[in-house]
């Protein structure tokens, strides 16, 4: 906001300090006496006021130009940033890989989606992740639906989650194999009374 100094001449030609009434744009000596209405003779601004106004105007023009002309990230770049963020700072939870879907997008591309679910704090989440552009990281033919997986999620926003990223994969190659146990020793029941176990 620029401040301006006004030179005002009174009825006898003397310089007075007026009050500005913003409702009608006139300067008054006394708001109750209309014969003392004064008109502005001129507007004087100091050079530093003019310079600062021009600098502010130039900064505003540069800001608007930058906002209009900057390169906006593509949806693929936004998804890659999201995967990188969750791969570095997401919490891990066990989930289940439900299905692998292929669907046609509105622009005609075929999308490959991993559908998975997981539970956090008693709440079940079912999400999907687009893995169309991740052919160099994983092979879709080797992914098995119905297997457990690890899910990385954002702690403050649990529905923001991933199963696969460029540096990390929560997919498992198979079910865990439990070791085979030999037949255990028979239970020694000699300390029990006859007929009772």
Could you give the domains of the chain?
5-69 (no CATH), 75-162 (2.40.50.140)
Mean pLDDT for the chain overall: 78
Q: Which alpha helices (H) appear in the chain, and where do they start and end? A: 47-69, 75-89
Separation between Cα atoms, residue 64 and residue 114, nearest integer Å: 41
| 191 has a pLDDT exceeding 60 | yes
In this structure, of 52-56, 99-103, 158-162, 183-187, the range with the lowest mean pLDDT score is: 183-187
Using pLDDT thresholds of 50, 70 and 90, give the confidence band for residue 38.
very low
In this prediction, residue 139 carries a pLDDT of: 83
Region 13-38: mean pLDDT is 51
Separation between Cα atoms, residue 36 and residue 93, nearest integer Å: 80
Region 41-51: mean pLDDT is 73
Using pLDDT thresholds of 50, 70 and 90, give the confidence band for residue 136.
confident
Is 140 in a helix, a strand, or coil? helix
Using pLDDT thresholds of 50, 70 and 90, give the confidence band for residue 3.
very low
């Amino acid at each position: 906001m620029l401040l301006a100094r006004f030179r005002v001449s009174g009825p006898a030609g003397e310089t007075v300090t007026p009050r500005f009434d913003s409702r009608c744009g006139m300067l008054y000596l006394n708001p109750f006496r209309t014969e003392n209405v004064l008109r502005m003779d001129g507007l004087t601004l100091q050079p530093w006021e003019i310079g600062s106004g021009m600098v502010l105007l130039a900064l505003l023009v540069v800001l608007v130009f930058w906002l209009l002309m900057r390169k906006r990230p593509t949806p693929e770049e936004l998804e890659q940033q999201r995967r990188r963020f969750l791969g570095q700072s997401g919490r891990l939870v066990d989930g289940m890989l439900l299905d692998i879907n292929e669907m046609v997008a509105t622009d005609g591309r075929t999308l490959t989606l991993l559908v998975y679910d997981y539970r956090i704090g008693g709440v079940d989440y079912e999400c999907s992740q687009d893995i169309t552009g991740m052919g160099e990281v994983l092979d879709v033919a080797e992914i098995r639906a119905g297997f457990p997986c690890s899910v990385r999620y954002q702690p403050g926003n649990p529905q923001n989650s991933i199963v696969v990223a460029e540096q990390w994969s929560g997919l498992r190659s198979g079910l865990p194999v439990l070791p085979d146990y030999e037949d255990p020793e028979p239970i020694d029941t000699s300390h029990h009374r006859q007929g009772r176990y």
